[in-house]
Structure 1
Amino acid sequence: MKLMFAGFSVMLAASLASAQQETPDNPLVEGPTWNELKDDIVGKTAILDGAALFSVTAPYRANDAATVPVTIEQTEPAAGPIDSIKLVIDENPAPLAAEIRFGRAMAPLKFETRVRVNQYSNIRVIAETPQGSFMNGRFVKASGGCSAPATKDPVAALNGMGEMRVKLFDGETPTSNARREAQIMIRHPNYSGLQRDQITQLFISAHFITQLEVKQGDDLLFALDGGISVSENPVFRFSYTDNGATDFTVHAVDTEGNVFDRVLPKTPPV
C-alpha cells in the first residue's frame, strides 16, 4: 500500500513542478461558452472580479490533461473568509467540476486539487464570501482529459477502492491554533463515463465520488460535491488551523452507493 500511494505522491509532485515552471500568464479568455453556462451555474447573481481576493494557479499547457493541478489561494485575508467555491471547466462535458464548502479553520483559503480538462478551456473559480460572489481563473491548453484511459484495468482499479492516506507538511504533532498544511489522497477510479475498456473497447460506466467530507475531530474542514471532472484517485492539499484534534475523519460516497469512512491520524504510527 505504501508503494501504491508513493506513486500518487510522485505523480502529484511532477504535476506541481510542471505548473510552477510554466512562465506564460494565462488569464481567462473571452468566449461564448461561459455566457451560455452562467445562468445554470450562478443564476442571476452578480459576479465581481476576484483578482484582488484570491489567485487561481493552473498550467498554461497541461502536462497531463487527466490530472491538471489547480490551486486556489486567498491573497486578501482581510476581506473575510471564502465560504464556498464553484470550480468550473467551461468546455468539459459536465462543466461544474465541484462545489466545495469550507469550515472556519480553512480561512484564509489555500486549496489544491486535480481535474480533467477535455479541451482548451477556461478553468474558473466562483467564490462566495460575506461581501458577495467573486470570480477568477486561468485558461488551460489541454485536451482529452475526460476520455483518457484509466491508469489501471477496471478490475485492478476497484481493488483497494476507498483506501486513503494523509501526508503532513508542517510537522507531525497536532498543535492547537497552529497554521498547518496537509494532503489527503483517496483511491478511487472516478470513471467519467467517457473512457473505454482497453481490452473490450466498450465504454466504462461512470463511477465517481459524489460527496466528500473532511473534518478534524468534529470540526468541518471542507465538504465537496463532485462530478466527472475530478481526476482519478483524487488528491486534496490544503492549509488549515489546527484545533488540536488527533485525527482527520473522512466520509465519502460514490455513484454506486459505496460509503467510505476513514480515520486518518495526524501523527503517523511508529
Structure 2
Amino acid sequence: MRLALVLALLAAPHLVLAAEIENPLQPSEAWDDLRSSIIGTDDEPPIDPAILLLDAPKRADNPALVPVHITQPPGAPAITGLALVVDGNPAPVAAEFTFGKALMPLDFEVRVRVDSYSDLRAVATLADGRKVMAGRFVKASGGCAAPAGKSMDDMRATMGQMKFRRTEEDGRHIGTLMIRHPNFSGLQRDQVTLLTIPAEFIQTLEVTQDGAELFTMNAGISISEDPVFRFGWSPGDAPVKIHAQDTEGRVWDQSF
C-alpha cells in the first residue's frame, strides 16, 4: 500500500503534464493570415506556461457553449490586455479584454462558440508591452449557427437580466456573472420563420468595484448566448458594478 502511494505521487506531475499537452495548438494557416492584423506584428508570440495558461476541452460537448479557462501561475507578470481568438470562426476575434490589477494573477473563464475544428488561443499583452500566447486545439463545429436555446419571446422578455454570485477561495473573491442575452451571431435561423436572425450581441461590458476596473470586454459574435464570466479578484468591500451595452444601443446597469 505504501509503495503504491509513493508511485502514485511520483507519477502525478507526469499525469498533469500529459493533461496540459493533450490538445496543444496545431499549425494554422488561418492564424498565419490573421496574426499581423490582430496583434500588429508577424512575430509569433512565445508560449510560456510560466506566464499564461489556457484550458479548453479537446472535444466540446456543445459547440455553442465551449468553456475557456485562462489562468496565470502565482507570481506571473501582470497582464493588461488579452485577445481571445478562435481561428476558424467567421469573425475570429471572440473578444478583447482589459484587466485591472485586482484580477492579477488572472483566473478568468468565459464560454465561446466554435464553428469548426480550430485552434483557440489567448494572446496577452504584459505591462511591459511584451506579448505571450496560450491555446488549445478544440474539436467542435457548427457553434456559430447553432439555434438559440430558448424561444424568441422568452429571450426578449429576459434580455439584460443579470445574476451575480460571489464566493471565497484561497483568500480571493470568485465572482460569477451571468447576463441574459441571445448574442445572435448573424448566422442563426429563426426556427419558426426559417429566416436568418440579424447579428445582435453584447458588444461592451465593464465590471468595476469602488471606481476601479476589474475587467472590460469588447466582443464580437463568438461569445455564447447568455454569457457567463467567472473571475477571481483581490477582496474589496464595495459593490461590484456592471455596465453592458449591445449592438442595438440597449444599456443595462446593475450593482451587486
TM-score (norm 2): 0.88
Q: Which residue of 2 aligns with 1:151?
A: 149
| Secondary structure, counterpart of 2:98 in structure 1 | strand
TM-superposition CA deviations, 1:92-113 (whole Å, max 9, x none) = 0000000000011000100000
Note the residue ranges of structure 2 that are not aligned, 5 or more in a row: 1-17
Aligned to 1:52: 50
Report SS of the residue matched to 1:37. Answer: helix
- Does residue 73 of the first structure (1) align with residue 71 of the second (2)? yes
Partners in 2 of 1:119 and 1:50 — Cα distance?
Answer: 26
The count of residues paired between Structure 1 and Structure 2 equals 236
Q: Following the alignment from structure 1 to structure 2, what is the Cα–Cα distance between the partners of residues 219 and 43?
A: 28
Alignment of 1:179-218 (within 5 A): 179-218=172-211
- Tell me how far apart the structure 2 counterparts of residues 140 and 208 of structure 1 sit (CA, whole Å): 23
Q: Deviations over 1:12-59 (max 9, x none)?
A: xxxxxxxxxx96710000121100111110111642223221110000
Partners of 1:253 and 1:194 lie apart in 2 by 21
The answer as to whether partners of 2:28 and 2:119 remain within 8 angstroms in 1 is: no
Partner of 1:241: 234
Structure 1 unaligned regions, length at least 5: 1-21, 172-177, 265-270
- Cα 1:123–1:29 change in 2 (3 A) is same
**Who is 2:115 aligned against?**
118
For residues 143 and 186 of structure 1, the distance between their equivalents in structure 2, rounded to whole angstroms, comes to 24
Amino acid at match of 2:140: A
Counterpart for residue 10 of structure 1: none
Q: Which structure has the greater CA radius of gyration?
A: 2
Q: Distance in 1 between matches of 2:35 and 2:54?
A: 19
Query: Is the CA contact (8 Å cut-off) linking 2:26 and 2:137 kept in structure 1?
Result: yes
Query: Which of 249, 253, 256 does residue 257 from structure 1 map onto?
Result: 249
Report SS of the residue matched to 1:260: strand
Matched, 1:91 2:83: no
- Using the TM superposition, give the Cα deviation of residue 201 of structure 1 relative to its aligned residue in structure 2, in angstroms: 0.5
**TM superposition shift of 1:79:** 3.5
Equivalent residue, structure 2, for 1:103: 100
CA deviation profile, 1:70-99 (whole Å, cap 9, x unmatched):
000002x43421111100000000000000
**Secondary structure class of the residue paired with 2:79:** coil
8 Å CA contact retained: 1:153, 1:197: no
Find the counterpart in structure 2 of residue 168 from structure 1.
166
Q: Does the Cα contact within 8 Å between 1:58 and 1:69 map onto a contact in 2? A: yes
Match of residue 38 from structure 2: 41
Between the aligned partners of 1:130 and 1:262, the Cα distance in structure 2 is 30
| Aligned residues of 1:45 and 1:133 also touching (Cα < 8 A) | no
Matched residue, 1:13: none
Partner of 2:224: 231
Please state whether the residue corresponding to 2:102 is helix, strand or coil: helix
Q: After superposing the two structures, state which structure 1 stretch, 79-88 or 65-74, moved more.
A: 79-88
Tell me which amino acid in the other structure corresponds to 1:230.
I
Which moves more between the two structures, 214-223 or 46-55? 46-55
Q: AA paired with 1:166?
A: F
Q: CA–CA distance in 2 between the matches of 1:133 and 1:58?
A: 21
Q: CA deviation at 1:156?
A: 1.7
Provide the aligned C-alpha RMSD in A.
1.7
Moved more, 132-141 or 50-59: 50-59
